[in-house]
Each structure stands twice: as C-alpha cells, then as structure tokens.
Amino acid sequence: MSQYVAPGAYTRVQDFSAYVPALATTTCGMVLTATKGPVNVLTLITNEGQLQETFGPYSASHLGLYAAQAYLRQGNMLWVVRVGTYAQYVTEITVKDDAGDVDALEFSVPADVGPGSWATGWKISVADGVRANTYTISVLDSSNRTMEVFDQIVVGTANVDALNYVTTRINGSSNFISVSVLAETNDLEASIQTFVGGDDGSPADAGDYIGLAGTPPISSATGMQLFANCEAVDINMLAVPGQYDSSIVSAGLTLCETRGDSMYIADLPSDMTVTQAVDWTNGDSVASGAPAAAWNTPYGCVSYNWVTIFDSLNNTEVMVPNSGHVAGVFALTDNTRGVNFAPAGERRGRMTDVLDLEYSPTLGERGYMGTSGNIINPIVSFPSKGIILYGQQTMYRSNSVLTDISVQRQLMVIKKLIATSTLYLVFEPNDSTTWQQYINLLSPYFRELASERAIEPDYTILCDDTTNTAARIARKELHGVVSYTPIRAAEKIITTITLTPNGAIFDA
C-alpha cells in the first residue's frame, strides 16, 4: 500500500553506502603479575608511562611487564589483566599532634589501585612550613625520592574552609595518597613514617593465569578467561609472558581457536638447547611442565629464545621471554606494511631494543627448527645486521598455507571484517537484491587486497541462487562463498649461476 496519499512532493532516502569497516589489526592481550594495579580487570594501556603508572615498576619478579613494555614500543593498544593472590594493602600511617598525645591525621594509599607490595616502603614526611603555623607534607618512595610535595598546609578547626586545609589540598590533588582527620589540632608532630605490610601473597599459579569463566553478571570471569568473549574485548594477539607450563599454553591456544580471531604467542623455558626446544614443542620432552602432545594449530606461534634488554629504571641488564618482542614485531609489520606481510626478516623482524640473545642458532639449527614438521621460529643475532626474528611459522603441522603467520593473520582479519560488515544485511529480505548487496559490500575490500599484493587477483565472491537454495532460504539462511589465493612470502631466495666458456654468446 502506498504511503503517499495526499497531493504533494515527497522525497525518499535509499542508503547504499555500506562498506567494510576498518578494524584494528594490532591489539594485544596479556595476562601478567605486577606490584600494583587492579586485579582480574581488563585494563587498556596505550603507552609505557601509563603501564608503569598503573602496574608499577618492572622487575625480575614480574617479567610480564617487560614484555608489555616491548610490545608498547611498537603497538599502542594493549589489554592487561593482572592476576595473583595479592592479599593485603599497606597499613595506614597516623600523625600525632605536637604533644604526641592524640592521633590527628591518618594517611592511606588509594584502594582502587589494588592490593600488593607496591606502596611498601613509601614514606610520609611532616615538617614545619616556611610560614608560621603551616606544614610541608611530602610523599617519598622506597628510595627516598620525592614523589609529591604539599607546602603551606594548614590544620585546625579555624582553617577547615581554607584552600590549603590538609584534606582539601591533598585529597583534591594527590596522585598517591589520601588523608583523613582523626582529631582536630592546631599543631602537628614533625616526623617521617613508612608504609608497611603490603603483601603480594603467594606466587601466581597456573589456575590464576588460566582463570575461571565465572557466571556473569553474578560472578565475573578471571585471568585469561576475561578475553574469551570476542564481542566484549577486541584483540588479535594473546600472551602470558614467561609462563610456559603446558596447561597455560593449552588454555591460551584453545581460547584463541574458540575466538577465531587471535593468535597465541607462546614462550619456551630459558636455558634450552635447540634440540630441547624442539622436543618441548613436539611433546617429546620429559621436563616438568612440558606438553604431553605436539602443539598443532594455526592459532599459535612460538619463537626461540630468551632475549637480553636494558632496564633503565633499575639500571641493569635483564633476560626476558621473547613473546612481548614478537608481538612488537607483529605491530611494527602492521603499522609499516600491513597484516598481509610476513612479520620477520631484515625489513620488519628487527628487535632494536634487544642487546643480546641467550643463544643465537646456527644456519643448520635454524633449518632443523622449521623443517620436518618442526614449528619454532628462530631469533638470530646477525653480525652487522642486528637481532632479527627469522621465521614466520604458525604451530600448524599440515601441508597448508596456514603454516604462514602472515596468511593466518590475514585470514583472521578477513573473517572478522566479513562478519562485522555483513551484519548490515541481517533481517533483510533473502532475495537477489540482498545477494547483490552482499557482493557489492565485499568486492571493494577484496579489490584492495589484490592491489596491496595480499591476494591473487583471481578471487571470487559468489552469492546467488546456487549458494542460496530453497532449503537454505526456508531455514532463514543467506549463504555467500568467498574464494581467494593468498600471496605467500618468499622465504628462500635461490639464484642459479651458469658458468660458460670464453666466447659464449647470449641472445638478447
């Protein structure tokens, strides 16, 4: 029935502007421990400063923070989940009146930062101010470095409305502490006191890292399971840096396979020979924590071996797992060339902030790692060239293009883009017009992939009465078929040199 009844001029809008949206191809998720920060909460970190401010300083006890730092030097979207049994906050500090009879002020650290040892050793200094009847209150770290200073602080009932009244000034601007008044006094005791009692609890175990699915919204998920819902959090890489126990790696690989859009970047134990590393990944190791069966999935990758970096905060060199640096290579590749290119080699595989390797494998060892069904990507120190990720194999052991990280990551992006963009067609009539809209929606994107040397130009997108039979239409299903051939990376450059006798003539 026509909606135009009365005489007049009418306009209609038909929107055919739908297009395949741009998606972030470099978003990493990490599960780690730290001295501070929210526990079992998805926290978005976009730079190194924010990482340290939120989760505290890097240390050998929290290797995951080094991995997060390495990734953030190339990527700018990192979802962090802090895990562990952080049992206790530091105790409060009380400051007495000048006579030493009454507890006048109580200082505490903010509860929303999370429990742990992060504030243990911090100090509160109360000293006379430069003006009469005022005080200077300072916050010092465990090394006695000044973090904050509040001068011209006043106390006492007569000063409650003053801008420099102790609670007004400190609680309104401090990044580290809060203060409450226990008893009004006109004079404070000069002192320096230390926060004590912060506790990281027992070390995190496999159960903490793997986490629980929970029963949202009654009980939240924990650990790695916070990344399980691909509609709730968008990532395409996942790592649990420095944790190589088979139960953790297996859970990570399963989670990425279930999501269908992410790759798990696994670590190996340190102090391993090449043969021991291959045995570990093949399920042939008898070492503690080793997998009982070979890793075999396109949704994971593993590299050899640990790397040495300089920790400028602690002014020392430290050896760390490589998963954060590998994730950084992925990010560098995405930012400079795109997800379709191999994240390896001299152009895109350099790890410029790595000082040294635990061991640099030889040419023969590199061949052994990545042939005959083995799936380890070597990190190599080349003289005059630097330290380079020199392989791009997934954990997949079949004769398939999905053994290439670049092909697998490209496929994950394509799957996500198609799923996201075709939501536009849900609840549209299942007829030839919608089928053509499906083709029109995806065609520009695949033309662009072909122009970017990502796929061969002979791709096909089919959506018609051959893919949508009467039975499928009756089930309210619309079926499309996309077929393409990925362009694989040249991993071996082979040149044939022909020697000829004198006087040989070559035709132009």
35: confidence class by pLDDT, cuts 50, 70, 90:
confident
Cβ density class 318-344: b for 16+ within 10 Å, e for less:
bbbbbbbbbbbbbbbbbeebbbbbbbb
Mean pLDDT of the chain: 90
Determine the average pLDDT of the residues in 155-180: 94
Asked which of 15-19, 182-186, 463-467 is least confident by mean pLDDT, the reply is 15-19
Contact criterion met (CB below 8 Å) for 411 and 394: no
Tens of pLDDT, residue by residue over 106-139, are 999 887 777 778 888 999 999 999 899 999 999 9
- Is a pLDDT exceeding 80 seen at residue 25? no
The answer to whether residue 89 scores a pLDDT higher than 80 is no
pLDDT above 80 (res 496): yes
Q: What pLDDT shows up at residue 67?
A: 97
Mean pLDDT of 24-52: 90
What CA–CA distance (Å, rounded) separates 250 from 100? 59
pLDDT at 348 over 90: yes
Sheet with strand 376-382: strands edge to edge: 43-45, 78-82, 28-32, 237-239, 263-266, 300-304, 376-382, 386-389
pLDDT (average), residues 299-315 = 94
pLDDT of residue 57: 86
Domains in the chain, please, with CATH?
A: 28-85+202-405 (3.40.50.11780), 93-194 (2.60.40.4290), 426-508 (no CATH)
Higher pLDDT, 198 or 388: 388
Distance CA 177, CA 70 (A): 30
pLDDT of res. 503: 64
Closest CA to 127 of 191, 183, 194, 193: 191
Q: At what angle do helices 405-421 and 432-451 cross, to 10 degrees?
A: 150
User: Residue 462 — very low, low, confident or very high, per pLDDT cuts 50/70/90?
Assistant: very high
The average pLDDT across 340-356 equals 94
- For 229-264, the pLDDT digits (tens) are 998 999 999 999 999 999 999 999 999 999 999 999
Say if CB 37 and CB 55 are below 8 A apart. yes
- 310 strand-pairing partners: 317
Residue 86 has pLDDT above 80, yes or no: no
Q: Is the pLDDT of residue 459 over 70?
A: yes
Using 50, 70 and 90 to split pLDDT, how confident is the model at 389?
Answer: very high
What are the tokens at 32?
């780690």
Rounded to an integer, the average pLDDT of 72-95 is 89
Quickly count helices (H) and strands (E) in the chain. Answer: 12, 20
Entry pTM: 0.83
In three state form, how does the secondary structure of 134-190 look?
CEEEEEECCCCCEEEEEEEEECCHHHCCCCCEHHHHHHHHCCCCEEEECCCCCCECC
Amino acid type, 469? T
Residue with tokens 């006191």: 193
- Residue range 173-180: mean pLDDT, rounded: 92
Cα 10 to its chain centre, rounded Å, is: 52
Give the confidence band of 16 by pLDDT, cuts at 50, 70, 90. low
Sequence-distant (≥ 6) Cβ neighbours of residue 349 within 8 angstroms? 329, 343, 388, 389, 390
Whether 453 shows a pLDDT value over 60: the answer reads yes
